[in-house]
Structure formats: structure tokens, C-alpha cells
Structure 1
Amino acid sequence: MADRSWVNAQLIKAAQAGDRESITAVLYGAHPHVRRFAEHLCASSQDAEDAAQEALIILYRKIGSLRATGALTSWMFRIVRNECLRRARVLFERPDEAEAGLATSAEDEAIRRLEAELVAQAIQELPDVQRRVLIMRDVLGYPGRSVAEALGLSNAAMKSQLHRARNRLRLSLSGMTGPADGPHDPGNPSA
């Protein structure tokens, strides 16, 4: 069974009051849990470690402003989730330099960047929950059940949000690119 002593109400209250030993104990106890959660959400183990570290830094800086000691774990996991999503957004905004080497010409590179920008813009315009579900499920490749649990949704609600996100994205991209999408585009009536 996992060690839950780091969420002890007295320890958290002492940390909120500024007791350095208590803060250290809370940070030390939280790290493996936060890291494990980040591993499920982030694209790489490096991003997971960075997100966990960022969450612990925020905890260290803001533990005094935490209102309810019982909310510590959900607050920490929300910070990690947001940090992992922020890091996933960066992937859309700045394409990997290794991928840039795949272009065969300057024209191909310009087209690839334009397409990536269109997709990133369309994803950015999705409602928050739909954007998170789509990124975690389709971009990062997490299993549906993991996505649902991480976002606090039922499996059915996650599937519904994913379906809506995909449809919105498809409609948004078909509106941006015009009718030349090809014969297997479900939004193209001439298919």
C-alpha cells in the first residue's frame, strides 16, 4: 500500500505555517505520486519529470495559500495535468526540429508548417475539455480509461467529448482547406 503520510492534515498545516521540515516532508512524500501521475499524462519521461518538478515548485511557493488541507492531492494533480497539457501544446506550436529535416524542398517545408499551424489552431479553438481529451487520446496516445480518469470523466463522457472534438476538428479543417480534401473525407459529399 502507498505511503499516505505526506497528506497528513497536521503535517500540511505545519507546512502552510512555514515549517521547513514539514514542507520538505510534504514535497518528498508527494514527489513519487506526482511523478507517477505525470508519467501517465506527459508525452515523454523527461516531460513527466519536468511537470512533476514544476508542480513541486508551485507547491513549495504556494502551500501557504492552500485553503483546505484535504484539497492538497487534487490541487497537485491538477497542476501536473495542466503542466503536461501546456507541454503538449508546445509540441503543436513548435514542430520538432528533427521532423523539419524530413522536408524535401523549401516548398514542402512551407506546406508542412502551414498544415501544422492549421491543425494547431483548430485544436486550440476546441472547448477546453474536448481539447484535452483529443490531445491525450489522439496525440499522446493514452488509453481511453486513463484519459477519463485523469480528467475526472466517466468513460462514456470521455468518448462523447472525443467524438465531439474529432467532429469539430474535422469540420474546422475542412472549412480551412476547402473541397480538395480527397475522396475518403467523410465531410466531402462527392466521395
Structure 2
Amino acid sequence: MAESTWPGARLIAAAQGGDIDSIAALVSGSHPNVQRFARSLCATPEDAEDAAQEALIILYRKIGMLRASGALASWMFRIVRNECLRRARAQLRDHSVPLRQDTAVASAEDQVLRSLEAGTVAAAVAALPPDQRRVLVMRDIQGHSGRAVADALGLSTAAMKSRLHRARTAVQQALRATT
């Protein structure tokens, strides 16, 4: 697959100057890069397409606000990232609504799959060395702040972060090995 490049500085400058043809060329030239980044970051292909489109609309409307032509890629990536995060938060908010009494319950199959997944995660956490497990449980499961975890375990913040990173990596590797 050929790596596409971002539009050049001349085209960006012309678009910033208000040239409609340059703006159209800039948007179409940026589309493959924006879409690829959105696909790598968003949860679903539909969200990725929507985030890419939103980013290109913002590019079209606000190209004059771009301070340096070399900053186009980072500006677009920031817009896409923010849009993907906004969509993920909205999806979490929509799914965190408690079930009403008249809503159908999950199927027995779904409940079994969820319990199997929970069991797999619990086994991965249980397999961690005790020092990593304590940090992971306190930080990610109980929700304590990094400073509180470090203080409670008598660690420096850097040591706590290092153990947390190793624990998360080990759990991820264990989960990948089971799929």
C-alpha cells in the first residue's frame, strides 16, 4: 500500500488565502490520511467515517486559523482524536443508562460469555506477581489515585507507575494469548 502524503505548503497557503479550488484540493488531499487515522482510533468503522468527515468539515471552515502549514497533520489528528473521544464518551453515556423493568434481559448465552470473559480477566490478574497485582487492583479496580496507591504501598510515584505499566502489559498479553 502506497503511503500518501499531506498536501504541500503552497496549497495550504493558497487555501488559507481563501482560494476555493485550493481549499477543495486540500480537503480531498487530506482525506486519506484523516480517514486512516480515524480508523485506527475510533471504535467502529461508522464512527471513524463520521469523525473523518467532521474533521474535514472543520478543515474546510477553519483553514484560515491554521498558524503554520507544517502543522496541518497534527491539527487534523487532534481534531480526529477529539471527535473519536467525543463519540466514545457519548456511546458510554448512552449504554450506561440503567435497564428498566420492562426491558428485555440479556440472553443466557450473553451472560455466560460475560462470566467467561470476567473469569479470564480475573485469572490474568491473579497470575500477576503480588507487587504488580496490588498496584493494578488499587489503581484500576478500586480507582485510587496514583499518589494514594504509591503512598499506601510505600513506593515512589515512578515505581508505582512502572509496576502498573508492567501489570497492565502482562494482563493484556495473557488476554491476547487466550483469544
Aligned partners of 1:37 and 1:15: how far apart in 2? 22
Normalised to the residue count of structure 1, the TM-score between the two structures is 0.52
The root-mean-square deviation of aligned C-alpha atoms, in Å, is 2.6
Moved over 2 A (4+): 1-4, 99-104, 164-169
Q: CA deviation at 1:32?
A: 1.2
Q: How far did 1:3 drift?
A: 3.5
**Aligned residue number for residue 105 of structure 2:** 103
Q: Distance in 2 between matches of 1:11 and 1:167?
A: 52
* Cα offset, 1:165, TM superposition: 8.8
In the alignment, structure 2 segments of 5+ residues that lack a partner are 107-134, 145-179
Kindly report which structure 2 residues correspond to 1:1-191, keeping only aligned pairs within 5 A, or say none.
1-4=2-5, 6-95=6-95, 101-103=103-105, 167-172=138-143
Q: In 1, distance between residues paired with 2:136 and 2:45? A: 27
> Within 1, Cα distance between the matches of 2:37 and 2:55?
11
User: In 1, are the aligned partners of 2:4 and 2:32 still within 8 Å (CA)?
Assistant: no
Q: TM (normalized to structure 2)?
A: 0.56
Matched AA of 1:170: I
Contact 1:7 1:73 in 2 (8 A): no
The number of aligned residues is 112
> Against the structure 1 CA distance between its residues 43 and 102, is the aligned structure 2 distance closer, same or farther, given a 3 Å change threshold?
farther
Which letter maps to 1:172?
A: G
SS of the residue corresponding to residue 34 of structure 2 reads: helix
User: Percent same amino acid among aligned pairs?
Assistant: 56
- Aligned pair in 2 of structure 1 residues 95, 75: CA closer, same or farther (>3 Å)? same
The structure that has the greater radius of gyration is: 2
